[in-house]
Amino acid sequence: MAVAGQKKDKDLQNRGLSAFSKFYENLYNPIVIISPELIIRYLNPAAEKYYNLKRDNLIGKCCRDEFKCGLFLNNLDCPVAQVLSCGGSLHIKTPHHFGIDEGYMKVSPLKDDNGEITEICLEDYSKLIRLKNQAVKMDSRFKKIVGVAAFAIFVLDKNFIVEFANFAAEKLLEESKKNIEGKDFRSFLKDEDVINYIEGISRDVMINGRLCFYPDRLIYLGKKNVNAVELYMTKAKEDDDEKIYIYLNNKTKEIRLQDDLKKTNEFLNNLVNGSPTAIIASDCKGNIVLFNKEAEKLLGYSAEYAKENMNIRDFYAPGYIEDLMKMLRSEEHGGIGKMEAVEATFLDVNKNQIPCRLSSYLIFDKECKEEALVCIFYDLRARKLMQKELEETQMKLFQSEKMSSLGKLAAGIAHEINNPLGGVMIFAESILEDIDENDTHREDLKRIASETKRCKNIVKGLLEFSRQTDNTMTLQNINELLEQGMFLLENQAIFHNIDVVKEYDKDIPLVKCDSARLKQVFINITQNAIDAMGAEGTFTIKTIYDREKKRAEIEFSDTGCGIPKTIRQKIFDPFFSTKEVGKGTGLGLSMSYGIIKDHGGTISVKSKEGYGSTFIIDLPIEN
């Protein structure tokens, strides 16, 4: 009998396997087939994996003996017994079975053609329930996350009806959630062009199924504001239905801030580039980060070239920037981090030295570390030139006042001594007429008359210096006056080894002057030049017509010994002479100064000791 029972179970097992294996083998849920006698007929692979069992070890055995599940208090609680009793399916909640926590099971009868129950199928769908619960939790979690997302998120169906909108979407549209969901998304777009744009890209998304990104597209949304958004769109499949997902990143504030920042940068850039002072800024390594228009103009570099190729040290003399940093880091020059109004020398693109007034400042970061160096400076060349010209003008004014005072003094002295000298000369000449030709005193009287005449010439010079003589002013050709003066000197022995160079401007107009006195000036300067050159040299006379200033300029240049700087300011003083006693009165240049001044002109000198001198006479030209 035992052998017959085992054979019957084996037949049932084979029959069960052949009947159900094709259907149950690939099912996701665990399946266990049990006979009405509680004999295990079949386990599918999902049951083996889920319960961690081997069906070869269980098939043909009693489930109550093998499983020892202890789920039920008596046989009436056994789900197999309940199905056999009622003949229909039932769903049970199992507190614990096969070592698995609480689960859910469907118990169904399997009947033959006569309606007899041949097997009972136990289908465990606990895993699906857990997955469903997880999905619900995930969906809830997803909605919470999406709800607080910064992006405005919309879920649309194929007809653009909004099925879901998060809080950011409410804020963007300025509508409540109930007024958004269930409505056509296109109704919130106020621009026909934008509607067409959205419809076009949605068709592309639905066809190609890819995520599309459309940055910084202006889309009119909401009741009041125009919002600039970044648009992302994709599609997804839910419950066999395709959905459109739209993500809108509101960048309105960011774009406004960018516009404000751009305007601020433009304002600061215009302010820096419009500054009348040059401004250069560098980082802590000396790399140029700012180079304004005035710096370009002053130093000759373009801002682009300076930023790419230059270092702050390149604009200063070697070692100066290190000294500057030491001063900025001390408190002795206006406090730490700043130094104002010092004179510094900059180097331009041609390495020319430019004197500048410099103010420097250190920029510190939040941690008080040196971050940048700012140099603000302006060109001092014009100011220095103006200062030099002012000093020269002041000197000329002083010289003019001095000469005026000396002229008055000379006139007074000349008048005082002129009459006695005239008396001496008259008496000397009268005695010469009365004494015999062989008188031994005759030579002495001649000497007295000669020296008296010499004294009268000196007095005459003093009177001319003080403008006490009459002037005859006529229009004259300067070039011809120079030729007449040189004619008197060129044939003298002192000119034998002197090369005379004449560079006359033939277009120079006539000059109103006293020709005799002007020739006196020319001859005096020429004689001084010959004396300075000695035995040989080159003497150059040059005339220039300045059409803009309407002035005639005459230059006398020699290659002589030059005038020492220490006496250069004294050469026009009366009675000042560098010649030996008895060889000059010291009135030549002082008289020349006075004559040129009477003509409304100026006389000046340029000289370098050992390299010669140039006397420059400037005369006005009348129309």
Render 302-367 in DSSP notation, one character per residue. -HHHHHHH-BGGGGB-TTHHHHHHHHHTSSTTSSTTEEEEEEEEEE-TT--EEEEEEEEEEEE-TT
Distance CA 355, CA 360 (A): 15
Same domain, 161 and 214: yes
pLDDT in tens, 264-301: 777 777 777 778 888 999 998 889 989 999 999 999 99
Same domain, 490 and 616: yes
Count of C-beta atoms within a 10 Å radius of residue 541: 22
Same domain, 540 and 600: yes
- 264 in a domain, yes or no? no
Same domain, 179 and 209: yes
CATH number at residue 456: 1.10.287.130
| 3-state DSSP of 358-427 | EEEEEEECCCCCEEEEEEEEEECHHHHHHHHHHHHHHHHHHHHHHHHHHHHHHHHHHHHHHHHHHHHHHH
pLDDT in tens, 490-543: 666 667 778 889 999 999 999 998 887 888 888 888 888 888 887 788 999 999
The pLDDT of residue 382: 87
- 139 in a domain, yes or no? no
- 594 in a domain, yes or no? yes
Please answer whether residues 421 and 456 qualify as being in contact, where contact means their C-beta atoms are separated by less than 8 angstroms. Answer: yes
Please answer whether residues 125 and 104 qualify as being in contact, where contact means their C-beta atoms are separated by less than 8 angstroms. Answer: yes
CATH number at residue 507: 3.30.565.10
Distance CA 65, CA 35 (A): 14
- 613 in a domain, yes or no? yes
Q: Which pLDDT band holds residue 9 (cuts at 50, 70, 90)? A: very low
Q: Which pLDDT band holds residue 16 (cuts at 50, 70, 90)? A: very low
CA dihedral 468, 470, 473, 477 (to 10 degrees): -80
- 227 in a domain, yes or no? yes
Q: Which pLDDT band holds residue 8 (cuts at 50, 70, 90)? A: very low
Average pLDDT score over residue span 105-134: 82
Q: Which pLDDT band holds residue 100 (cuts at 50, 70, 90)? A: low
- 73 in a domain, yes or no? yes
- Give Cα separations from 285 to 288, 296, 344, 403, 587 (angstroms): 9, 21, 21, 61, 66
Distance CA 375, CA 367 (A): 22
- 266 in a domain, yes or no? no
- Return all residues near 314 (Cβ < 8 A) that are at least 6 apart: 347
Please answer whether residues 457 and 469 qualify as being in contact, where contact means their C-beta atoms are separated by less than 8 angstroms. Answer: no
Same domain, 481 and 396: no
Distance CA 396, CA 261 (A): 58
Please answer whether residues 36 and 81 qualify as being in contact, where contact means their C-beta atoms are separated by less than 8 angstroms. Answer: no
Same domain, 119 and 165: no
CATH number at residue 284: 3.30.450.20
Please answer whether residues 143 and 191 qualify as being in contact, where contact means their C-beta atoms are separated by less than 8 angstroms. Answer: no
| 3-state DSSP of 471-527 | CCCEEECHHHHHHHHHHHHHCCHHHCCEEEEEECCCCCCCEEECHHHHHHHHHHHHH
The pLDDT of residue 552: 93
The pLDDT of residue 384: 85
Question: 420, 435, 465 — which closes off a domain?
Answer: 465
Average pLDDT score over residue span 103-116: 84
Asked if pLDDT for residue 354 goes beyond 70, the answer is yes
User: What residue has token string 């001859």?
Assistant: 523
The pLDDT of residue 323: 85
Same domain, 351 and 246: no
Q: Which pLDDT band holds residue 4 (cuts at 50, 70, 90)? A: very low
Q: What is the model's pTM?
A: 0.39
Same domain, 484 and 602: yes
Question: 209, 227, 255 — which closes off a domain?
Answer: 255
Question: What residue type is assigned to position 482 of the chain?
Answer: L
Same domain, 121 and 24: yes
User: What residue has token string 């006698």?
Assistant: 37
Buried-state track 163-195, b at ≥16 Cβ within 10 A, e below 16: ebbbebbbebbebeeeebbeeebbebbeeeebb
Asked if pLDDT for residue 73 goes beyond 50, the answer is no
pLDDT in tens, 543-565: 999 988 889 999 999 988 888 88
Q: In what order do the strands lie in the sheet with 227-238?
A: 162-165, 152-156, 241-250, 227-238, 212-219
Same domain, 452 and 484: no
Give the residue numbers spanning the domain of 41.
2-131
Average pLDDT score over residue span 427-447: 79
The token duo for 208 is 């190609």
Asked if pLDDT for residue 240 goes beyond 80, the answer is no
Question: 255, 282, 308 — which closes off a domain?
Answer: 255
- Return all residues near 589 (Cβ < 8 A) that are at least 6 apart: 524, 525, 528, 571, 572
Same domain, 330 and 250: no
Please answer whether residues 296 and 302 qualify as being in contact, where contact means their C-beta atoms are separated by less than 8 angstroms. Answer: yes
The token duo for 241 is 């239905």
Distance CA 508, CA 499 (A): 24
- 311 in a domain, yes or no? yes
Region label for 612, one of left (φ > 0), alpha (ψ between -120 and 50) or beta (otherwise): left
The pLDDT of residue 615: 92
Distance CA 536, CA 494 (A): 9
Total domain count for the chain? Answer: 5
Distance CA 459, CA 591 (A): 12
Same domain, 485 and 590: yes
